[in-house]
Amino acid sequence: MKDIIFLIASFDTRHEVRPINPVIEIDESQSIVKLAIDFHRLLSGSISANVPKALGSLTNVAPSSMRVSITPSALRFKIHYSGENEDLQKHLISMADKYISIEVREGTAIEECIFFVSAPIKSDSLFELLRFIEKEA
């Protein structure tokens, strides 16, 4: 019996320290920020500026006794990965599309300029991107 216990114990590797070599590392950052931007101006010139008017003329969005406002609430950029990577293929890993999102924070008015932002990048890179958007908007 002692031989069996010793044999089982010899295969127990729970306490061994082994180096972990990641195949891929992906950062994800999320934050609630107050931005010095006019969100409507940021989207001006895009088709989103005309959606409320077009939708209002095409259909009834609400009963006639109610007032409706339709405003853009998010700005998204898709990051698409193409091409092949040997290490990822060897480990049967595929890359799904990821998004950079700037959304009006739920429960706040768009004029408050409070946004939920997320991106598959490090926090400092995300904040640098937001500073760029503030400067350019």
Overall domain count for the chain:
1
- What six digits make up the tokens of 108? 């706040």
Written as six digits, the tokens of 33 are 């920020």
- Higher per-residue confidence, 79 vs 50: 79
Task: Tell me whether residue 78 is in a domain.
Answer: yes
Q: Which residue pairs from 48-57 have beta carbons closer than 8 angstroms and sit at least 24 positions apart in sequence?
A: 48/72
Q: Domain span at residue 126? A: 27-46+72-136
pLDDT digits (tens, 9 = 90+) for 55-96: 666 556 667 777 777 777 888 999 998 888 898 899 898 889
Residue at 62 is within a domain? no
In a domain, 4, yes or no: no
Asked if the structure places residue 37 within a domain, the reply is yes
Q: What gap in Å lies between CA 104 and CA 87, rounded to an integer?
A: 38
Asked whether residue 7 is assigned to any structural domain, the reply reads: no
Residue 31 resides in a domain? yes
Of all helices (H) and strands (E), which one includes residue 98? strand 98-104
